[in-house]
């Protein structure tokens, strides 16, 4: 089955989930599964999850709009019970960093390590372009095997303009795609680049395949197609395209169904028992909250 991490604005409640049997039609799983306790603003935005080969789920998220030099991290074996959250200080050597946004976690099965990609703005580090110095982002990354020992922070991708919301997709051995947001005015849309390594270098920055004011892409392979979901935040809805080669894209927004209020996270596959466990636990949440939604049954 398919699960996606989620949050609701203003992102101060915590981690949510939605799920799907077919990768097209999505339902909410009522409940708050991890509360935000880290950072200057103590929010949980852009939650991203990956499952390692041992069946452990690893979660990263944005902890503040501005002021933090790291992102949040926790792990779980069932998506219900989480370790004590901790801050991963990835920009501690860059004290003028304005923000650490949208960390996206990827497990590199070729190198047997995690790669976490995020965007940060370091004033006066790059050519200004058309963005102000406090909005001139680039994509960075770290690698780690255990989230205790972290590599040095490195630049992942500099297309020559402000870019955020990077997510890595592996198509095959030495064949990777970076899906990211061109954050410049008036574009603010989603593009792709390509590499032979998860950690780059990425090249081939092509034309956008979404309209303006879209962000937070997440990718999941469904049958032979890669589905790319994205947050069409100006229209307050969710969009999607499908592709097989990341060159030609077909808009399938009218074919997908995503719960109202869902904000961008990461889609991933899980055993049915994991979703059943979440929904069973969510019944307790419903009894103890004013949430009027009803959990669906998984059969």
Q: What is the CATH number of the domain that holds 250?
A: 2.115.10.20
Determine the pLDDT at residue 230.
Answer: 98
If one counts every other C-beta atom within 10 angstroms of the C-beta of residue 230, the result is 25
257 in any annotated domain: yes
292 in any annotated domain: no
C-alpha distances out from residue 82 to 75, 94, 103, 219, Å = 6, 30, 18, 24
Model confidence, pTM: 0.94
83 in any annotated domain: yes
43 in any annotated domain: no
Of residues 205 and 97, more confidence is placed in 97
86 in any annotated domain: yes
Determine the pLDDT at residue 299.
Answer: 40
Q: How many whole angstroms separate alpha carbon 227 and alpha carbon 252? A: 9
- Mean pLDDT computed over every residue of the chain: 94
Determine the pLDDT at residue 287.
Answer: 65
Q: What angle do CA 79, 224, 257 make, to 5 degrees?
A: 55
pLDDT at 294 over 60: no
**Which residues constitute the domain of residue 179?**
50-266
Handedness of CA 113, 225, 6, 97 (dihedral sign): positive
42 in any annotated domain: no
State the total domains in the chain.
Answer: 1
Q: How many whole angstroms separate alpha carbon 270 and alpha carbon 256? A: 20
Confirm if 135 and 183 have CB atoms less than 8 A apart. Answer: yes
pLDDT digits (tens, 9 = 90+) for 147-161: 999 999 999 999 999
Q: Which of 203, 116, 125 is nearest to 157 (CA)?
A: 203
285 in any annotated domain: no
**pLDDT over 70, % of the chain:** 96
Of residues 122 and 289, more confidence is placed in 122
pLDDT digits (tens, 9 = 90+) for 232-269: 999 999 999 999 999 999 999 999 999 999 999 999 99
299 in any annotated domain: no
pLDDT digits (tens, 9 = 90+) for 162-203: 999 999 999 999 999 999 999 998 899 999 999 999 999 999
Q: How many whole angstroms separate alpha carbon 181 and alpha carbon 20? A: 25
Mean pLDDT of 75-79: 98
Mean pLDDT of 195-218: 95
Question: If you compute the radius of gyration of the chain from its CA atoms, what whole number of angstroms results?
Answer: 18
Rounded to the nearest 10°, the torsion over CA 145, 62, 167, 137 is: -110
């Amino acid at each position: 089955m398919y699960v996606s991490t989620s949050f609701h604005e203003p992102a101060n409640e915590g981690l949510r989930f939605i799920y799907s049997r077919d990768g097209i039609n999505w339902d909410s799983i009522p409940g708050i599964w991890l509360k935000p306790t880290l950072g200057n603003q103590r929010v949980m935005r852009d939650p991203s999850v990956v499952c390692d080969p041992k069946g452990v789920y690893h979660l990263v998220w944005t902890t503040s709009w501005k002021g933090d030099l790291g992102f949040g991290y926790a792990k779980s074996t069932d998506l219900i019970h989480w370790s004590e959250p901790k801050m991963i200080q990835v920009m501690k050597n860059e004290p003028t960093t304005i923000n650490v946004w949208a960390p996206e976690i990827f497990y590199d099965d070729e190198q047997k390590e995690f790669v976490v990609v995020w965007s940060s703005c370091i004033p006066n580090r790059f050519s200004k372009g058309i963005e102000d110095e406090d909005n001139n982002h680039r994509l960075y990354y770290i690698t780690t095997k255990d989230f205790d020992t972290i590599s040095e922070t490195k630049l992942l991708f500099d297309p020559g303009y402000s870019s955020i919301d990077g997510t890595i997709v592996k198509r095959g051995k030495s064949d990777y795609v970076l899906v990211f947001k061109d954050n410049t005015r008036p574009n603010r849309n989603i593009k792709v680049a390509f590499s032979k390594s998860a950690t780059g270098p990425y090249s081939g920055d092509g034309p956008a395949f979404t309209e303006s004011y879209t962000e937070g892409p997440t990718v999941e392979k469904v049958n032979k197609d890669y589905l790319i979901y994205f947050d069409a935040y100006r229209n307050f809805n969710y969009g999607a395209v499908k592709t097989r080669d990341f060159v030609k894209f077909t808009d399938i927004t009218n074919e997908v169904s995503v719960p109202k209020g869902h904000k961008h996270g990461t889609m991933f596959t899980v055993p049915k028992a994991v979703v059943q466990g979440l929904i069973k636990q969510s019944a307790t949440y419903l009894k103890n909250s004013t949430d009027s939604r009803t959990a669906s049954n998984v059969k």
